[in-house]
């Protein structure tokens, strides 16, 4: 049943307890006991899938188009991700690992015929495997191509209207209504200032971060708000479903020689101008940060205009 092609006809609720699917646990455990490595993978996937489905705003559905399976793979425990990544790299003959004893030469030839082998040197293959082992990334297949995955989260923080009549209640804003703010100014990080040397490292990025091991997008965004935005983070109002967008971009990796898929989940938040703290009006009005003596390194934030109005 897991491999059938489903046709969605609608959604309904049962007024009484209804048995829609029965799984014989004993038979399932007997099958898993044949290969211990399979049991750990299934347990890790079940935990990741449950965490995904219990996130705020998750669509509880078995339709494949609404589930980010690449993100689910990254949410697996590091040990499980290593097993899957090593199996793929080994099947393509890129690395030699302990799991190779379970893959026959016939199976490898069959897999090689269906998967396009990337042109990558043994040194770069070892570098990629080290990155996977460090928990920074994972590898998988997209349309028979081996792809390296990087998952990030970011947020566009808009200024809350100052007039009482224009106050924003984030819980009352729909996903479509959030598009009205796309033409307004939003918060960006325009530089890092080392207070001991006075060195300024310029940049122009949204508040965001790479996802950590077994971290959901919502949890990663909450960590950025709590840790990176300091006091301003406490004043930010946001909702996981308001103004949320997901984009996937494929780029050639100069380091490894094959494509990397950057998956970004972006959220929308609102804050007051008074809560900006160490900031500048806008980058084009001059770089004049107001610094304090507390941290050794300060992030300078400013507001910029959406690219749609330039």
Q: Does the structure show a pLDDT above 50 at 99?
A: no
* Among 118, 142, 166, residue at a domain's last position: 142
**Rounded mean pLDDT of the chain?**
73
Check whether residue 137 and residue 194 sit in a common domain.
no
Helix, strand or coil for residue 205?
strand
Residues 133 and 221 in one domain: no
Instruction: Give 32-84 pLDDT, tens digit per residue.
Output: 666 667 777 888 888 888 888 887 777 776 665 567 778 888 888 888 888 88
pLDDT at 224: 92
State the pLDDT at residue 310. 37
Q: Are 103 and 112 in contact (CB under 8 A)?
A: no
- What span, in angstroms and rounded, lies between the C-alpha atoms of 90 and 103? 9
Q: Please indicate whether residue 163 or residue 32 has the higher confidence score (pLDDT).
A: 32
Confidence of residue 103 (pLDDT cuts 50, 70, 90): very low
pLDDT digits (tens, 9 = 90+) for 174-219: 444 455 555 577 888 888 888 788 888 888 889 999 988 878 888 8
Residue at 1 is within a domain: no
Is residue 91 left, alpha or beta, with left meaning phi > 0 and alpha meaning psi from -120 to 50? alpha
Final residue belonging to a domain, choices 122, 142, 162: 142
In a domain, 252, yes or no: no
Does residue 84 form part of some domain?
yes
Q: Is 217:154 a contact under the CB 8 Å cutoff?
A: no
Q: What integer is the mean pLDDT of 230-246? A: 83
Quote the pLDDT of residue 183.
56
Q: Look at the chain and report how many structural domains it folds into.
A: 2
Residue 260 included in any domain: no
Query: Domain check: are 161 and 296 in the same one?
Result: yes
* Cα–Cα distance for residue pair 111/177, rounded to 1 Å: 48
At residue 134, the pLDDT reads 85
| Across 266-281, average pLDDT | 68
Q: Do 196 and 111 share a domain, yes or no?
A: no
Using the 3D structure, point to which of 84, 117, 142 is the last residue of a domain: 142
User: Is the same domain home to 191 and 299?
Assistant: yes
Full residue range of the structural domain in which residue 132 is found = 28-58+67-142
- Break the chain down into helix, strand, coil percent, rounded to 5: 35, 25, 40
pLDDT confidence of residue 61 = 66
What percent of the chain is modeled with pLDDT above 70?
60
Does 2 reside within a domain?
no
């Amino acid at each position: 049943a897991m491999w059938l092609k489903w046709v969605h006809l609608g959604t309904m609720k049962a007024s009484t307890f209804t048995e829609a699917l029965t799984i014989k646990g004993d038979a399932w455990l007997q099958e898993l006991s044949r290969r211990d490595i399979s049991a750990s993978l299934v347990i890790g996937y079940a935990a990741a899938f449950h965490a995904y489905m219990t996130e705020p705003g998750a669509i509880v559905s078995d339709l494949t188009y609404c589930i980010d399976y690449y993100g689910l793979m990254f949410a697996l425990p590091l040990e499980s991700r290593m097993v899957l990544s090593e199996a793929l790299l080994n099947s393509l003959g890129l690395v030699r690992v302990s799991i190779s004893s379970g893959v026959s030469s016939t199976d490898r030839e069959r897999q090689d015929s269906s998967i396009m082998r990337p042109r990558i040197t043994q040194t770069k293959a070892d570098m990629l495997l080290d990155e996977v082992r460090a928990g920074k990334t994972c590898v998988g297949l997209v349309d028979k191509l081996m792809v390296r995955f990087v998952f990030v989260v970011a947020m566009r923080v808009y200024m809350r209207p100052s007039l009482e009549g224009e106050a924003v209640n984030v819980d009352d804003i729909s996903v479509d209504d959030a598009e009205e703010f796309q033409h307004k100014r939003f918060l960006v990080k325009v530089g890092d200032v080392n207070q001991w040397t006075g060195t300024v490292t310029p940049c122009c990025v949204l508040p965001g971060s790479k996802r950590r091991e077994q971290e959901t997008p919502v949890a990663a965004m909450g960590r950025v708000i709590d840790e990176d935005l300091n006091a301003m983070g406490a004043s930010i109002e946001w909702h996981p479903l308001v103004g949320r967008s997901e984009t996937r971009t494929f780029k050639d990796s100069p380091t490894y020689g094959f494509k990397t898929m950057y998956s970004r989940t972006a959220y929308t938040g609102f804050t007051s101008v008074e809560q900006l703290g160490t900031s500048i009006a806008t980058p084009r009005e001059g770089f004049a940060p107001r610094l304090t003596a507390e941290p050794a390194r300060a992030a300078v934030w400013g507001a910029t205009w959406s690219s749609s109005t330039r």
